Amino acid sequence: MDKSEVINLRSGVSTVGIIGAGTMGIGIAQVAATAGCEVFLFDTDQEQTEKSIRGLRATFEKLVSKSKITESEADEIMERIRPVVSLKDFSDADLIIEAIVENRDVKKKIFSELEDYVSEKCIISSNTSSISITSLSADLKNPERFIGIHFFNPAPLMPLVEIIPGLLTRGGLAEEIYALMKDWKKVPVIAKDIPGFIVNRIARPFYGEALRIVEENIAKSEQVDDAMKTLGNFRMGPFELMDLIGIDVNFSVTKTVYADYFFDPKYKPSLLQQRMSEAKLHGRKTGRGFYSYAENAEKPTPEKDEKLYEQIFMRIISMLINEAVEAKRLGLANDADIELAIQKGVNYPKGLLAWGEQIGFDKISETLQQLYDEYQEERYRQSPLMRKLIKN
């Protein structure tokens, strides 16, 4: 592509196409429309598109009633979001953001078809949370204009956006998207194209280790959640968060990261989570997950145990800090972006590198060594950088 034909994204994106009208798709549409862009929203299920538009309108009505936004502002945003019935309707789009099911083959098929309809100037992107950007772009006619733009759920509220250039992405595109996300009032970070990117790689133990603790009958889910909230000041415990995200979605991301890291035991999925997914106990969206969300349902009261809670907290936080240290060692992002991504992407109360300093990397190392000695699993191996961070 001639460089002169490449649009200046910071000032040139006025029309955005969104593929997928689910929770993420409609959320991203709201963000783009609020930023003043004209948005075309497409889903193969037109009923889903209509349902999401109605839901957004209802959300705005509530915001207007609470004086969070004016009625005229809400109307203007809604008018900028236009449902379309075909990918052909994206012919005038400056930027496409795909937000459909986390399935590599399904996404690649959509992108291949999309290239036949959009202009040469159009940037194509995926909101994937874990699938390789390079692999998604490899079969495209013009992979240079493809990039990852990963929003977090709910997109209008969560500030972080991970920007992921693939090996074939043209130089400078990541920086242009970075500037665009700033204009959209988001907090962008540029990440390497590795499984899980920054957040979903580092955060895996928050779920995985919590699941293992419950699977081994060391504690109940409500105790794990309570321990992480009371000792770590997390807003939500792992099981509450999995129910919110969707147990099926969380499981899918875990499987992708595990496979893409050539089955590294650090990212091994949970059988408990698999059974929950098979039973369609997906959390809030199905009315039942690790907790019940039926009308008048009461959450179980955790049996508090100070010693157990400390064990739970140190086990999970040590695994998280170890992942952050390894991300630092591998240069997946700079230290500031690693800390920013975790705080803005999954609402952790503080950055994990800073947390390691506070607790003491020696204590984190000792906890991981004890787990390794007990289980004899590579899951608990320490980052080579860990011991170098311990102050003599």
**Is 282 labeled as catalytic in the residue annotation?**
no
Distance CA 109, CA 157 (A): 30
**Is 233 labeled as catalytic in the residue annotation?**
no
- Active-site hit among 126, 127, 129, 270: 129
- Active-site hit among 38, 150, 222, 240: 150
Q: Report the 3 state secondary structure along the chain.
A: CCHHHCCCHHHHCCEEEEECCCHHHHHHHHHHHHCCCEEEEECCCHHHHHHHHHHHHHHHHHHHHCCCCCHHHHHHHHHHEEEECCHHHHCCCCEEEECCCCCHHHHHHHHHHHCCCCCCCCEEEECCCCCCHHHHHCCCCCHHHEEEEEECCCCCCCCEEEEEECCCCCCCHHHHHHHHHHHCCCEEEECCCCCCCCHHHHCHHHHHHHHHHHHCCCCCHHHHHHHHHHHHCCCCCHHHHHHHHCHHHHHHHHHHHHHHCCCCHHHCCCHHHHHHHHCCCCEHHHCECCCECCCCCCCCCCCCCHHHHHHHHHHHHHHHHHHHHHHHHHCCCCHHHHHHHHHHHCCCCCCHHHHHHHHCHHHHHHHHHHHHHHHCCHHHCCCCCHHHHCCC
Distance CA 274, CA 258 (A): 14
**Is 162 labeled as catalytic in the residue annotation?**
yes
Of 151, 139, 94, 133, nearest in space to 113 by CA: 139
**Is 112 labeled as catalytic in the residue annotation?**
no
Distance CA 387, CA 392 (A): 10
- Active-site hit among 38, 98, 162, 326: 162
Residues belonging to the active site: 129, 150, 162, 200
